[in-house]
């Protein structure tokens, strides 16, 4: 099976399919958020230990991407994605059988490693088929489709929890994985040509990863979104306690509040698609990062004073999460443009750093837990500062040196023509 990206219908169907597959990642996190207090009560474990299952998931995701990125560059995207879907299905069934926090933590690590095989291949597939500007649009469209998952997941999770118990949440995810396997085999072709596959020996793999770390333009973009992502995980970890326990929001209504954030992100995604082509990608990325930082500091102020009540928590978080629509697609497109021959490996490093930061921030929220919203807000504000500071690494709008030369030559030619 092949895909003609110049055919509008084929291109749109391909993007919709990748968006649907990308939903598995956030579904594994967001679906069970309303159930965290219930899982803690049922297992007789402290909530802080059950919250650590989120950190465990992000650590597994980071590790998995480092493994699967190079494998996808060597063997192709499909041969990595499909086994990952099988593993994701099996580990969800195992999660439903867990009886204590330690078991659930181990299974969540394995579940994340399986899910990483899916998530790491999708941006690489886009990079295989599209140039930088078009890949930013495609990734933004995929993210727009993906927002359906975190928009519906907490709402759906609250209802499933209410009628069937927390174990059924993981059975539901296993069923989704089964459907995703069918969809991937039906609609997702192999995008990496045999001639472009890289057979990197294990001893050279570290050097390949180091080349990503040494590229300051790519790293500036990766860390900018990585720290922003860390703030997102601080919210995801802390919000069940802040909303449900601290402010007395019931699990079903928690899903509605969570959904407001994703709705705002979807709107900002559409704005991003419109801006691409009219503004440099780096300018859009910088605007999103700075806006998120301001929102995080407003959140911290409201959390400390408590004057604005629940609205003072919900509204700044909505602005923060909405900015993902400006940072995610553009940071990925700018970073991967520097590694056209090893997009899978570069994306793996980017994803590993992003999820490692997410794991750290999620753990910090749990460690700093003091019965208030301040730990969550403080970590988000810190991430906002670091996200903006990371952009200081970027020079020349993060445009690869080869393209800078081409642009200069084009400008000189235009001047000659004008003369």
pTM: 0.71
What is the domain extent for residue 180? 10-191+200-404
CA dihedral 124, 130, 131, 137 (to 10 degrees): -90
* C-alpha R_g of the chain: 21
DSSP string across 195-232:
GG-----HHHHHHHHHHHHH-HHHHHHHHHHHHHHHHH
**275's tokens:** 């801006």
Q: How many CB atoms lie within 10 A of CB 43?
A: 18
What was the pLDDT predicted at 351? 79
Q: What is the domain count for the chain?
A: 1
Q: Is position 241 within any domain? A: yes
Q: Give the CATH number, domain containing residue 145.
A: 1.20.1250.20
CB 56 within 8 A of CB 101: no
Identify the CA nearest to 280 among candidates 269, 289, 292, 272: 272
What was the pLDDT predicted at 135? 80
Burial zone of 300 (CB within 10 Å; 0-12 exposed, 13-18 middle, 19+ buried) = buried
Q: Is position 220 within any domain? A: yes
Q: Is position 410 within any domain? A: no
Q: Is position 2 within any domain? A: no
Q: Is position 367 within any domain? A: yes
**18's tokens:** 């990748």
CA atoms within 13 A on the CB side of 336: 33
**42's tokens:** 């049922």
Three-state secondary-structure class, residue 6: coil
φ and ψ at residue 117, rounded to 5 degrees: -60, -30
Q: For residue 276, list its beta bridge partners.
A: 279
> Computed from CA positions of residues 384, 387, 392, 397, in that sequence, does the dihedral angle turn out positive or negative?
negative
φ and ψ at residue 276, rounded to 5 degrees: -60, 125
Helix-helix angle 281-305:132-146, to 10 degrees: 40
Give pLDDT tens digits along the chain (419 positions). 666 667 788 888 888 888 888 888 878 887 887 888 889 999 998 887 888 888 888 888 888 888 888 888 888 888 899 999 999 999 999 999 999 999 999 999 999 999 888 888 888 888 888 876 788 778 778 877 776 776 677 778 888 888 888 999 999 999 999 998 888 888 888 888 777 777 767 667 777 788 888 999 999 999 999 999 899 889 988 888 899 889 988 877 887 888 788 788 888 988 988 898 889 889 999 999 999 999 999 999 999 998 889 999 999 999 999 998 888 888 888 888 888 777 667 777 887 888 889 888 988 888 888 889 999 999 999 999 999 999 999 988 877 766 655 444 443 344 443 44
Q: Is position 216 within any domain? A: yes
What was the pLDDT predicted at 412? 38
Name the DSSP letter for residue 306. Answer: -
What was the pLDDT predicted at 147? 66
The full length of the chain comes to: 419
Q: Is position 355 within any domain? A: yes
How far apart are the C-alpha atoms of 112 and 32, rounded to whole Å? 14
How far apart are the C-alpha atoms of 36 and 85, rounded to whole Å? 25
Residue in this structure with the two tokens 């919709």, named with its chain if needed: 16
Q: Is position 4 within any domain? A: no
């Amino acid at each position: 099976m092949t895909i003609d990206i110049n055919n509008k219908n084929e291109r749109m169907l391909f993007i919709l399919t990748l968006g649907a597959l990308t939903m598995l990642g956030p579904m594994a996190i967001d679906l069970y958020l309303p159930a965290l207090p219930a899982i803690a009560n049922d297992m007789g474990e402290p909530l802080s230990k059950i919250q650590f299952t989120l950190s465990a998931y992000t650590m597994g995701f980071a590790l998995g991407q480092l493994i699967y990125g190079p494998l996808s560059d060597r063997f192709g995207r499909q041969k990595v994605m499909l086994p990952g879907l099988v593993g994701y299905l099996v580990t969800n069934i195992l999660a439903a059988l867990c009886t204590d926090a330690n078991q659930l933590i181990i299974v969540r690590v394995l579940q994340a490693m399986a899910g990483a095989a899916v998530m790491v291949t999708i941006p690489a597939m886009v990079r295989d088929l599209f140039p930088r500007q078009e890949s930013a649009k495609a990734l933004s469209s995929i993210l727009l489709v993906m927002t359906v998952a975190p928009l519906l997941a907490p709402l759906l999770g609250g209802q499933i929890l209410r009628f069937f118990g927390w174990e059924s949440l993981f059975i539901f995810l296993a069923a989704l994985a089964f459907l995703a396997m069918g969809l991937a085999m039906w609609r997702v072709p192999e995008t990496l040509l045999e001639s472009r596959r890289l057979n990197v020996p294990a001893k050279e793999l570290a050097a390949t990863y180091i080349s990503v770390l040494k590229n300051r333009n790519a790293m500036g973009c990766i860390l900018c979104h990585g720290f922003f992502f860390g703030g997102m995980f601080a919210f995801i970890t802390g919000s069940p306690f802040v909303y449900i326990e601290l402010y007395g929001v019931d699990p079903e209504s928690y899903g509605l509040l969570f959904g407001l954030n994703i709705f705002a992100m979807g709107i900002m995604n559409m704005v991003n698609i419109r801006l691409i082509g009219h503004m440099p990608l780096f300018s859009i990325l910088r605007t999103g990062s700075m806006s998120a930082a301001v929102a995080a500091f407003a959140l911290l102020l409201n959390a400390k004073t408590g004057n604005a009540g629940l609205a003072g928590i919900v509204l700044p978080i909505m602005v923060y999460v909405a900015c993902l629509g400006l940072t995610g697609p553009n940071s990925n497109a700018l970073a991967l443009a520097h590694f056209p021959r090893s997009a899978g490996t570069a994306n793996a490093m980017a994803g590993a750093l992003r999820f490692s930061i997410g794991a750290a921030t999620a753990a910090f929220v749990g460690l700093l837990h003091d019965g208030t919203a301040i730990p969550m807000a403080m970590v988000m504000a810190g991430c906002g500062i670091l996200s903006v500071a990371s952009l200081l690494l970027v020079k020349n709008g993060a445009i690869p040196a080869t393209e800078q030369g081409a642009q200069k030559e084009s400008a000189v030619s235009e001047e000659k023509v004008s003369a």
